[in-house]
Structure 1
Amino acid sequence: METNKASNAPDDKGVGDGPAGKRGPMTIAVSEILLINMEKPGVAFPFIKALVNVNDHFHKLHPDSEFPFHIALMTKNQAQEQHIRNHLNKLGHAAAIMFPNDTNNKGDKSSVEKERLACVEIPPPSTDQIQLRVAFDGDNVLFSQDPESAKAIHGLESFKQNEDEKQDVPLREGPLKCFLEALVNMEKKFHAKHPNENCPVQTFLVTARNPVFSGTRVLKTLKSWGLELTQAFFLSGTPKGPPLSMIQPHIFFDDRKMHVNEGLELGVVSALVPYGIGYETDKEAKEEEANHGDKQGNSVSIN
C-alpha cells in the first residue's frame, strides 16, 4: 500500500498535495490481492471500506469538494481487471476504486521508489468497523529515526538526557506523518460542521516511549505541527497488545516486527514500516538467522 503526501492546513478543495504541489485528494494505492483474494474480500478490504465511508460522509458535508481519498487498485494483470471490477460491484464499491486503465497508475514498484512515496507491508487479518480507526507508532513512523539512533549508539540514559534537553525542539517528520496529517485535517472539517457528532475518523498514537522523560517532546512536536490525535498511549516499553485490543484499529503502523506480530495475534491488521534503525536491526537479525540455518543445512556429520 502506498500513499501520496498530504498538506498542512485544511480547506474545502481537498486534503493532499498533487504531483505539482497543488492541493488535492490523498491517493491510497492498494494491490489487487489485498482487496480481492480468491473471490472474497481481501485483508485490506475493511480498511478500504472505511475510507469509502469517510468519502461518503465528507461528500455530504462538502458536496462541492473533491473526495478526500482517491483509492487506486495496483495490478499488472489487465486480464483480471474486469473480473475484479465485477466482484467489487457485488460488494458495492467498484465505483469508489480507480483501475489502472482509468489512470496512469500501473502498480509499478519502481515508480513508488522513484517518487519516494510512503509504503507499508500488510499481512492478515483485519477488523470490520465502519468508523475509520488508524493507529501509529511514534519513532520511525510519525517521527524520524534520530532519537532511536541516539539510543542505539549511546544507550538509554543518554537518550533520556537528549530528549529532556531537546523537549522544545520538534522531532523531524517520519514517513507516515503525511497520512496522519490528512486524517487530522478531515477530523477538523467534520468537527467544524458537526461539533457534537462522532467523527468517522479516529487516530491513535501507540508508542513505547515513557510519558515522563520522552513523551513531552512527542506532544510538543504534534502541537507544533497542529496535529491532535484522538488518543495517545505512552507504554514505557510494555506490550502494545492491550491498547491495540481496546482500539481495534483498521490498521496499525509500526517499524518493529515484534510489535506488528503483537497486533496480528489480536486480529489487527498491522503494517510493517520499512524505515529506521529498528527495522534495519530486525532485518539484519533475520538475515543472520537465515545464514546460520544455511550453514547448518550444509554441514556434514562424520561418525
Structure 2
Amino acid sequence: MVSTIQNTDVKQKDADRAVVVAVTSRAVFEPGPDDGDDVYGEGVAFPLLQALQKVNGRLLEANPAESLLFDVVLITTDSQQQQQSSRIISSTRHYGLEVSRFCFSSEEDFIESLQNNNVQLFLTTNGNEAPQASQGGVLSALLDRQIAFCPSEQLRVMFCGDAVIRPDAGPTPLSRRAAQSFSAQLGEMQQRIGVFGSPLSVVLVTSRGGRDSCGEALRTLRSRGVSVDEAYCLAGAPRGPILSLLRPHFLLSDGFSCLED
C-alpha cells in the first residue's frame, strides 16, 4: 500500500518540468529513540537536501518564473518510522527543508511509489533498494554512510565516465535513458545558472582506460549540455581516495552505484 501526503507548507513544483528526486527518510534523518522529542537528528543525506535548495534558489534568482527545479520527495519504507510520520513531517518543517511530498509505502511497494511520483533520481542508504529501483527503470544511487558529511552550499554530482561512454552497461534500457535524461537536465540547469559561483558542480571520474577514455566521456557529457568542472583519469586506481577527498553527494554509475571501491 502506498500513501502520499502533500506538504502544504511548500509551493508545489511544475509537474511537467521539475526534476523529481526521491530520498529515503532514514537517509535524511538519523533514527533515534522515541523519547518524546519531535525532531530527528540530521542524517547523511541532510546536506544533500540543503544543496538541492541552493540550486533551486539560484535558478529562481536568475528567473523568478523558473520551472526547471529540483522537486524533493521523502520516501519512508521503514515500518517503525511510518508509525512516526508526524515526527518526520515536523522534523522537515523544523529544519526548513523544502520537501514537496511525503510518501509512505511497504518495502514491497516502494518501486510503485517511485513510479507514481515520476521520480527521476532515487537516493538511498539501503543496498537492496538501489538496484531494485534501477531494475525498475529509475536512476538510483547508493549513499555512503561512512564518508564525512558533504558540503551543503554546493551540490556535487560525480559521474563515472566508464558508464557514460558505455551506456549499454546499465541494468535496463529504461535506466540508461533515465541517466541520459537526468544528465541533460543538469546541463540545462548549469546553463541557466552560469559558471561564476555556481551551487552546482559536476565531476567526472574514469576508473578504467587512459586519457582517451576520459576525453570520450567528456565529449559525451558535453553533447548532453553538461559542463564538467573537474575530471580525473584513475587508469585502474581505486576510486576510494578521490571520493574521500572530493566528497560528492552521490555518484552516478551504471544506473545505480555506491561510493566505494
- Are 1:26 and 2:19 matched, yes or no? yes
Q: Which amino acid aligns with 1:243?
A: I
* Per-residue deviation, residues 126-150 of structure 1 (Å, max 9, x unmatched): 3233111111212336742459xxx
- CA shift for structure 1 position 92: 1.9
Residue of structure 2 in register with 1:73 after alignment: 74
Structure 1 residue 87: Cα displacement: 1.5
CA change 1:82–1:141 in 2 (3 A) is farther
1:51 matched to 2:52 = yes
What is the distance in 1 between the residues matched to 2:245 and 2:216? 25
Unmatched runs of 5 consecutive residues or more in structure 2:
1-12, 32-39, 115-132, 171-175
SS at match of 2:67: coil
TM-score, normalised to structure 1's length? 0.59
- Quick one: structure 1 residues 28 and 142, their matched pair in 2 at CA, closer, same or farther if it must change by over 3 Å? farther
Comparing both chains, which one has the higher relative contact order based on Cα–Cα distances under 8 Å and sequence gaps of 6 or more?
2
Q: Specify the alignment match of 2:247 in structure 1.
A: 248
Q: Match of 2:248, as an amino acid?
A: P
- Classify 1:203/1:212 alpha carbon distance in 2 versus 1 (closer, same or farther; 3 Å): closer
> Is the Cα–Cα contact under 8 Å of residues 55 and 199 in structure 2 kept in the other structure?
yes
Counterpart of 2:144 (choices 123, 131, 134) is 123
Paired residue secondary structure (2:232): strand
Distance 1:236 1:201, change over 3 A: same
2:92 aligned residue: 88
Q: When the two structures are aligned, how many residues end up with a matched partner?
A: 210
Equivalent position SS for 2:217: helix
Aligned partner of 2:187 in structure 1 is 184
SS at match of 1:203: strand
CA contact (8 A) 1:135 1:204 kept: yes
Shift of residue 199 of structure 1?
0.6
Distance 1:58 1:256 in 2: 27
Contact persistence 1:131–1:200 (CA under 8 A): yes
Structure 2: how far apart are the matches of 1:241 and 1:49? Answer: 25
Structure with higher Rg: it is 1
Q: Structure 2: how far apart are the matches of 1:67 and 1:259?
A: 27
**1:175–1:232 CA distance, 2 compared to 1 (3 A):** farther
- Whether contact under 8 Å (1:205, 1:233) holds in the other structure is yes
- Going from structure 1 to structure 2, the CA distance change for 1:67 and 1:234 (only over 3 Å counts) comes to same
Give the RMSD, CA atoms, in angstroms: 3.4
**Equivalent-residue separation in structure 1 for 2:183 and 2:257 (angstroms):** 23
Q: Which runs of 5+ in 1 are unaligned?
A: 1-13, 148-172, 263-303
Verify the 8 A CA contact 1:143 1:174 in the aligned structure 2: no
TM-score norm. by structure 2 comes to 0.67
Partner of 1:268: none
Q: Distance in 2 between matches of 1:213 and 1:58?
A: 34
1:99 is matched with 101
Give the percent of matched residue pairs that are identical in Structure 1 and Structure 2. 25
Contact between 1:206 and 1:243, CA under 8 Å: does it hold in 2?
no
Aligned to 1:74, the other structure's residue is in SS state strand
Pair 141,48 (structure 1): closer, same or farther in 2 beyond 3 Å:
farther
